[in-house]
Structure 1
Amino acid sequence: MNRLEKKLHDYFISSTEATRILNISKQNLNSLAIRGKITRVKKGGVTLYLKEEINERALCQDALRKKYRPYDFSRGVD
């Protein structure tokens, strides 16, 4: 792995990885980016997301779900 590939790997993740980490659909990921909740970088047909931002979002994702979708938790749906 050369220096550029290492930097890309250290700081960015693909949309597939981001959706897996956040446990959301690609449509939801796109919506977060459009609303300015997360940063995405598009270059040459590739869309990348800041790894640190996605990991931070993942930490608060459950709290956000409970706040904005309490009915999912009152029925026992996860």
Structure 2
Amino acid sequence: MRAEGAVRHDLAAAGPGACLACREHARAEHLRFADEIERIGTLPGSAVTSAEARQAAGRHRTLAERFSSGSGG
């Protein structure tokens, strides 16, 4: 599993001028990470609370939508 910072770093280059394939990849990775962090928040003994996980997942889903719009911002 990658940390949130790793995802942010990997996708930082996929901005408004990025090609369609890069934007699609960035969107898919943000959605994948949102699902993963949400799942982690439900695990017993997780260091991430359910509320924190939902908040982080929401941020990544918002980022995913920015990449799908092609505007990058």
Give the TM-score, by structure 2 length.
Answer: 0.29
Instruction: Name the structure where helix makes up a greater proportion of residues.
Output: 2
Q: Which has the higher strand share?
A: 1
Query: RCO higher in 1 or 2 (8 Å CA, sep ≥ 6)?
Result: 2
TM-score w.r.t. length of structure 1 = 0.28
